[in-house]
Amino acid sequence: MEYRQLGRTGLKVSLLGLGTMTFGEQNTEAEGHAQIDRALDCGVNLLDTSEMYAVPARVETYGATERIIGSWIRRRRGRDRIILATKVAGPGGVLGLDHVRGGDNRLDRRNIMEAIDGSLQRLQTDYVDLYQVHWPARATNFFGRLGYPHTDEPDLTPLEETLEVLGDLVRTGKVRHIGMSNETPWGIHRYLQLAEQRGLPRLMSIQNPYSLLNRSFEVGLAEMAVKEDVGLLAYSPLGFGVLTGKFLDGARPPEARIVRWSRFARYNGELAERATAAYVAIAREHGLNPAQMALAFVNRQRFVTSTLIGATTMEQLETNLASIDVRLLDEVIEAIEAVHRAHPNPCP
């Protein structure tokens, strides 16, 4: 396993991190524990979760993923073996989260304090290593939105308040470091500016989508990540499994997430299929597993701190973990770039 520094923290996190949002919906507690055990055996030390998981977000499964990780921590006495990251949900209207703090889950002091206390209780620990804002409160282009329609939002919680509360959590020891998720270059710049001006905690990471089907991070955010030491925790590196090739030619495996839940349309569509077919053809031409080629492409980027892999079966997990040993030849990279020029970012 390769390890990279998390921002300016001094913490070394594994280049492959374990994403856990299937725990409590597609995976049972026992399966979740087995995945954590296997990932740690392979050198993974970063576990990423969120208060709103499992996914898709439902009142019945709210907090289920954190509870499964918490029971693993208790039974294995494994807290000191992991770097633990979780998130506070942004305003509920974005994803229809009326069950999270009554739907009035702003990124203000009351909500963040309530969120972290709930997460710590479910995780059965007294601190998290990385606490992330899951998505911005303001209306901006995230979760597949490319355009930017400006909206005046007089009731918006100021970023200053959000950062001040996070700073209090760091000072009290409930949180060691902070990060953002689904953020924009302006958002990262503003948080860094506020931290410097007010002596508040500095962002150490950004968790955004990045894959062969969505390289939008490279425009603006990649430069921020490298020059400001706010590295990317890349989520959906396989585009919800699309880049494995298992959905090509109309295939629809019934157990797959994008088949079971129609709301996950972000990686569907004709453009995605064309690009995926081309990437899978490159992998097969060079004797590579398509999933491992896709993950290896993410792993090789300088702006990536950790690639968050997820799985519903141990076979999938083993395939993803083995990507750490895959090195892409120059001709493979050249072929990938040719496909990207022909089909740029089909799944933003």
> Catalytic amino acids?
53
| Contact indicator for 208, 181 with CB cutoff of 8 Å | yes
Three-state helix/strand/coil letters over the chain: CCEEECCCCCCEEECEEEECCCECCCECHHHHHHHHHHHHHCCCCEEECCCCCCCCCCHHHCCHHHHHHHHHHHHHCCHHHCEEEEEECCCHHHCCCCCCHHHCCCCCHHHHHHHHHHHHHHHCCCCEEEEEECCCCCCCCCCCCCCCCCCCCCCCCCHHHHHHHHHHHHHHCCEEEEEEECCCHHHHHHHHHHHHHHCCCCEEEEECECECCECHHHCCHHHHHHHCCCEEEEECCCCCCHHHCCCHHHCCCCCCHHHHCCCCCCCCCHHHHHHHHHHHHHHHHCCCCHHHHHHHHHHCCCCEEEEEECCCCHHHHHHHHHHHHCCCCHHHHHHHHHHHHHCCCCCC
Distance between CA 266 and CA 258 in Å, rounded? Answer: 9
Distance between CA 303 and CA 235 in Å, rounded? Answer: 13
Return the half-sphere exposure (C-beta side, CA atoms, 13 A cut-off) of residue 155.
4
Distance between CA 264 and CA 5 in Å, rounded? Answer: 32
Supply 174's token pair. Answer: 């409930």
